[in-house]
Amino acid sequence: MTEAILSVDQLTAQLGAEDDPIRAVDGVSFEIQQGQTFALLGESGCGKSMSALAIMRLLPASGRIVRGTVRFAGKDLLRLSESGMREIRGAGISMIFQEPMTSLNPVLKIGQQIVESLRTHRSVRGKAARNEATALLDAVGIPSPQFAFERFPHQFSGGMRQRIAIAMALANAPRLLIADEPTTALDVTIQAQVLDLIRNLQSRHGMSVLLISHDLGVVHELADRVGVMYAGQIVENASRASFFKRPLHPYSEKLFQSLPDINKRNRSLTVIHGAVPSLKTTFEGCRFTQRCHRTLQLCSQKEPAWSGDADSRVYCHLYTVGGLQSNALAQQQESEVEDAPSNGVGVGDRLLRVRGLKIHFPLTSGVFKRITGYVRAVDGVDLEIPKGKTMALVGESGCGKTTAGKGILQLIKPSMGKIFFEGEDLVELGARSLRQKRSDFQIIFQDPYASMNPRMLVGDAIVEGLKNFDSAFKFPPKRDVIQSLLQQVGLPADSAQRYPHEFSGGQRQRIAIARAIAVRPKLIVCDEPTSALDLSVQAQILNLLKDLQRTTGISYLFITHDISVVAYLAHFVAVMYLGRIVEHGPVDQVLTRPKHPYTKALLSSVPALDADHRRQVTRLAGDVPSPASPPSGCFFHPRCNQVMPACREKYPQLFRIAKNHVTACHLYESQE
């Protein structure tokens, strides 16, 4: 075994007031070998980012390192002077951050920002610095680096900016790169590019990587070893192979089980009950006890100890008592399997029919603000949703899926097209009759924090719609209605008298669902309702949505970028690219036998979890073009790997592949 490049021992960092601290990092120990990638995996608030910042000694102003050692290349970083630490930062250890949009200085040219790093550590200046910087930009795949050197961050897309950040981090050939959620803010196709880039650079330079991520897929793609964090501690530390083969800690095990995928369609997802405990509490025993499904009496009394071998270690009483093998969690979960959802009445009739929906936003210029063009956010979408079914609308950010959803609900006035809801065209309705009709279709948003009025009691928020539609409801507010709604979404009965800020993200999403179903809608547009949530909470919400559909026969238009959620929840899928639907059909057909090259690429970009077989990966080059000036012909042709001359000429028609399965691609023209 080689010498560890980084070894962290009992690192403890706290935030906030000293008499009532938040124990963000509580005795974290791990090692990273030369050239290896170590992933810290965990849900939000578990202290993984704080660990990284503590290693860099870049904690926020209210934070401090309480104890522990961080040895990097033979030096104890926590004992270095501030100027000694500065020499390490950016030279020995570099760091890239989650938000490529804000982590670069907006008013400095990117060349300057890279050169600055070169000059600080190696006194490379002038022409030499410029050459080196352009070489770095070239190495991370920025087109025409000479030109890019003079440009500002805002002139690049998110993926490109993350490449620039990587170039900056690599400027002084660091021995360790800390990547804090490097692809979380990016689309899957771009994420695949960036992960490739990190992997290539790593193998070329022999650099070690500390990867911070909440995404099992990303960890699987990149990591050699995995450390699972929970409530400020590492609870499991294993090689990738054994971790993904058989996770040891009950928490890790549950995480895997709560992942949605197509094989779990007919049952509820496993959930982890409860919530992550506050990091302000002083813990007695194991921190996971309250939420654990296999607790021993010991668990709540005594801190566990590490057990296991060099390959995989776990911080859990189950294994200290019985040893690693004996307690292998052989029996797979048995209790939580439920029956396949039985479909409600009237399933199959058409509820919503969208024809040629276009939403264009005008672009103006000149003295008199003449309209010189349009951003074609939604550019001719046809959709049908049957009663009691879920239609997923899939696409990358900026493809117009959210705009389409809001257009269908008439929250944005469509520029063109017809939206038939139970045969009635919503576009034609007057303001008053539309308001009457609104109880039939509702919306749930992505951000659980922005979707609740912070100044309104939860009870008032839930019945807001009822007050609008049900004149009998206005006075007095019926408590029992609120209670039954709260019960339906699984919230405690006293929630009505509380304010939204007292609830966690997942609970708020439940409130949002209660608010929507209060008016008994027939259709709910779910706009990425789980993408801001942690994996275990996502499972709870998905279960709830599925239950509601089973009991009330509601239809969903589920807008998402997450293929695994689609696989679990949807009956039909429509794939959107630059304002148009490129493929659409039943979920099993589209996901298993995708036809459109974009769908294929999208699906293959999703990091796979099964260690043994790796899919044939189609990587997409380049970025999504602007919807203000879409390419000629097929919008996808500049990025398509099966491009033909016809593709540049005209936009393809829809071709029927099978019953209900259609795609807009010239490839299938001949088969017609």
Partner 1 sequence: MRLVLLWTDIFVFVLLAVAIAFSVYASRKEHLRAPWGEIGKSSVAMSALVVLAFYLTVGILDSIHYHPKLDSGDQNSARYSTEIVSVFDWMLDSLRNKGEKTYSAPFATHLYSKELVVSGEARQQYVFSRLEHGGAHLQEQADKKLDILKTSTWAAAKAFASWILFTLVIVKFRCYRMRASWREGLRQVVCAGTRVRWRAVLLTLLVVMVIAWVSFDLSQKYHVLGTDKVGVSVLYQALKSIRTGLVIGTLTTLVMLPFAVLLGIMAGYFGGWIDDIIQYLYTTLSSIPAVLLIAAAILILQVYLDNHAAELSSAAERADLRLLFLCLILGVTSWTSLCRYLRGESLKLREVDYIQAAMALGTTHFLIILRHILPNVMHIVLITVILDFSGLVLAEAVLSYVQIGVDPTTHSWGNMINSARLEMAREPIVWWSLSAALVFMFTLVLAANLFSDAVRDAFDPRLRSGS
Partner 2 sequence: MTAYIVRRFFYAIPILIGVNLLTFILFFVISSPDDVARSQLGDRRVSTEAIESWKADHGYDKPLLYNPSAGGWGKFGDTIFFQKSLRLFVFDFGQSDSGRDIGYDIRQRMWPSLAIAVPTLLLGVLLNITFALVIAFFRATYIDFWSVVLCVVLLSISSLFYIIGGQFLLSKLLHLVPISGYDTGINAIKFLLLPVIIGVIAGVGSGTRWYRTIFLEETEKDYVRTARAKGLQESRVLFVHVLRNALIPILTGLVVILPQLFLGSLITESFFAIPGLGSYTIEGIQSQDFAIVRAMVFLGSLMYIGGLLLTDISYTLVDPRVSLK
Q: Which residues bind to partner 1, rule: CB under 8 A?
A: 406, 409, 411, 435-436, 438-439, 441-443, 445-447, 450-456, 464-465, 468-469, 499, 501, 512, 515-516, 519
**Least Cβ distance, residue 305 to partner 1 (angstroms):** 38
Identify which of residues 89 and 596 has a Cβ nearer to partner 2 in the complex: 89
Q: How far apart are CA 463 and CA 472, in angstroms?
A: 12
Other Cβ atoms less than 10 A from the Cβ of 613: the count is 6
Identify which of residues 203 and 436 has a Cβ nearer to partner 1 in the complex: 436
Q: Which of 389, 400, 419 is nearest to 587 (CA)?
A: 389
**Least Cβ distance, residue 532 to partner 1 (angstroms):** 11
Q: How far apart are CA 192 and CA 213, in angstroms?
A: 15
| Phi, psi values for residue 10, rounded to 5° | 50, 40
**Least Cβ distance, residue 176 to partner 2 (angstroms):** 12
Q: Which does 611 bind (CB under 5 to 8 A by kind): partner 1, partner 2, none?
A: none
**Least Cβ distance, residue 15 to partner 1 (angstroms):** 13
Identify which of residues 211 and 526 has a Cβ nearer to partner 1 in the complex: 526
Identify which of residues 104 and 452 has a Cβ nearer to partner 2 in the complex: 104
Identify which of residues 94 and 233 has a Cβ nearer to partner 2 in the complex: 94
Question: Identity (one letter) of the amino acid at 122?
Answer: R
Contact 214, 245 (CB under 8 A): no
User: Read out DSSP for 145-201?
Assistant: HHHHTTS-GGGS-HHHHHHHHHHHHHTT--SEEEEESTTTTS-HHHHHHHHHHHHHH
User: Read out DSSP for 349-363?
Assistant: SEEEEEEEEEEEEEE
Q: Which of 153, 148, 338, 333 is nearest to 253 (CA)?
A: 333
Identify which of residues 180 and 396 has a Cβ nearer to partner 2 in the complex: 180
Q: Which does 447 bind (CB under 5 to 8 A by kind): partner 2, partner 1, none?
A: partner 1
Question: Identity (one letter) of the amino acid at 249?
Answer: H
Identify which of residues 84 and 274 has a Cβ nearer to partner 2 in the complex: 84
Q: Which of 353, 354, 375 is nearest to 578 (CA)?
A: 375
Q: Which does 154 bind (CB under 5 to 8 A by kind): partner 1, partner 2, none?
A: partner 2
Question: Identity (one letter) of the amino acid at 178?
Answer: I
Number of H helices, E strands in the chain: 21, 24
**Least Cβ distance, residue 440 to partner 1 (angstroms):** 10
Q: Which does 364 bind (CB under 5 to 8 A by kind): partner 2, partner 1, none?
A: partner 2
Identify which of residues 189 and 410 has a Cβ nearer to partner 1 in the complex: 410
* CA 96 from centre of chain: 18
**Least Cβ distance, residue 122 to partner 2 (angstroms):** 11
**Least Cβ distance, residue 500 to partner 1 (angstroms):** 9
Q: What separation in angstroms does the CA of 4 have from each of 33, 208, 592?
A: 4, 10, 43
Identify which of residues 118 and 524 has a Cβ nearer to partner 1 in the complex: 524
Question: Identity (one letter) of the amino acid at 120?
Answer: T
**Least Cβ distance, residue 380 to partner 1 (angstroms):** 24
Exposed, middle or buried, 297 (CB in 10 Å: 0-12/13-18/19+)? exposed
Q: Which does 56 bind (CB under 5 to 8 A by kind): partner 1, partner 2, none?
A: partner 2
Q: Which residues form the interface with partner 2 (CB under 8 A)?
A: 56, 58, 61, 86-91, 94-95, 97, 99, 102-108, 116-117, 120-121, 152, 154, 165, 168-169, 171, 364-369
**Least Cβ distance, residue 453 to partner 2 (angstroms):** 26
